[in-house]
Structure 1
């Protein structure tokens, strides 16, 4: 990795990588450059503070969960699972959320084959609504990926056909957890209502 270019005093680096004497740069361009660099420096400081804050919050929540479990002589393993913590006054709420990334292996194709068998028979008996639900579930998104939530939602349908049940088993077996992301969300209750409003840590939402 190349070391950053040293900029001599009285010069500035332009967008093409050339050293330009400051006396050749218009004052308004110099002022714009100083403003942008100042904002970027402050943004980087905030980014680092947020990163440290997030790490601290996760550690503190994990320690609290372990402390709470210790009251019942239970050891909790790993950091999986959503946790919701509410202040004593009920005004504030902190949520640790774990979002798993799910994909399907080749067994999803077996499930689709079983469902197609069901649909071929059922559509002859005027059950088009089920066909629409199944076909919609197996549509891909704009990136060409199977929409996992839609496929998994098929398991909530109360259908007792043996082929359907085998297809639901195949869907369950096909699920592969390929990763997860952890989030912390902080909420404040709005007035005297039961509704909580997120305390935004996103610059666009502040």
Structure 2
């Protein structure tokens, strides 16, 4: 990676775009420049290598899943799902996960209206915990989005009210898959236990 000195000869460009004569640059600033430049170059190289490894890993897993399916005369197509692959001795396992990004369409508003009707009817004697759970589910985050997990969690409540049941159906109908993101993780067994520890592919967790 070219340094400021290499780019400008006898001048270095500072953070504000000004050209500073090299003889005015303090030695500690030069050392800092060398360290940051070297680490950045190494980080970029590592990032590119990790990207190549990730791409190859997904391709290899996909090819293996296809190969395995062919043993039964099955040809897989379309989007691939989650899969866990174990080494023969069970020491290692590789997991490919497809995480879907869910959103709600306009029918969520109908569900909220029905739920509000239920709350109005249940005002007397209704549990405050349920009210808090419902209010929390429909709160938006900093990005103005509703937490899909909390809304879908309402479906686990065993409430027989006909309006509530219609609200839950409206929630189910309103769910749309806006996209998906694949994840790749590798685990190693901890000693002779049945526990597995992830092999970190993240510099922050290494």
Q: TM-score, normalised by structure 2?
A: 0.89
Matches within 5 A, 1:135-154: 135-154=135-154
1:121 aligns to 2:158 (yes or no): no
> Gapped runs of 5+ residues in structure 2?
1-5
**Counterparts in 2 of 1:112-191, with a 5 A limit?**
112-191=112-191
Unaligned runs of 5+ in 1: 1-5
What pairs with 1:75-114 in structure 2 (closer than 5 Å)?
75-114=75-114
Which ranges of 4 or more aligned residues in structure 1 deviate by more than 4 Å? Answer: none
| Secondary structure, counterpart of 1:192 in structure 2 | coil
d(CA) in 1 for partners of 2:84 and 2:154? 28
Partner of 2:3: none
**The 10-residue stretch of structure 1 (149-158 or 129-138) with the greater mean CA deviation from structure 2:** 129-138
Q: Which residue number in structure 1 is paired with residue 22 of structure 2? A: 22
Distance, in Å, in 2 between the alignment partners of 1:80 and 1:159 is: 36
Alpha-carbon distance between aligned partners in 2 of 1:87 and 1:51, rounded to the nearest angstrom: 24
- Count residues with an aligned counterpart: 201
Of 11-20 and 32-41, more deviation after overlay is shown by: 11-20
Using the TM superposition, name which of 195-204 and 10-19 deviates more. Answer: 10-19
TM-score (norm 1): 0.89
User: d(CA) in 2 for partners of 1:129 and 1:18?
Assistant: 61
